Amino acid sequence: MSVNIKEANLEAITHSIAFMEKDGNCDKDLLKKLKDERNKLLRELNVKQ
């Protein structure tokens, strides 16, 4: 369960990335942007990658 909005966004982005990678037929630019945003949120939340 998410504690704050950043964690909720991180969870949603992670689920979206997983779905897009599983689908295989996705927009590579969008996937890269989502991964960049996920990494940014991880840094903001001080989570080790």
pLDDT tens, residue by residue, 2-45: 578 999 999 999 999 999 999 888 899 999 999 999 999 999 99
Distance CA 7, CA 45 (A): 8
Query: Residue 38: its pLDDT value, please?
Result: 96
**pTM (two decimals):** 0.83
The closest of 46, 45, 41 to 17, measured between CA atoms, is 41
Q: Which residues contact 26 (CB under 8 A, 6 or more apart)?
A: 20
Say yes or no to pLDDT of 1 above 60: no
The amino acid sitting at 42 is L
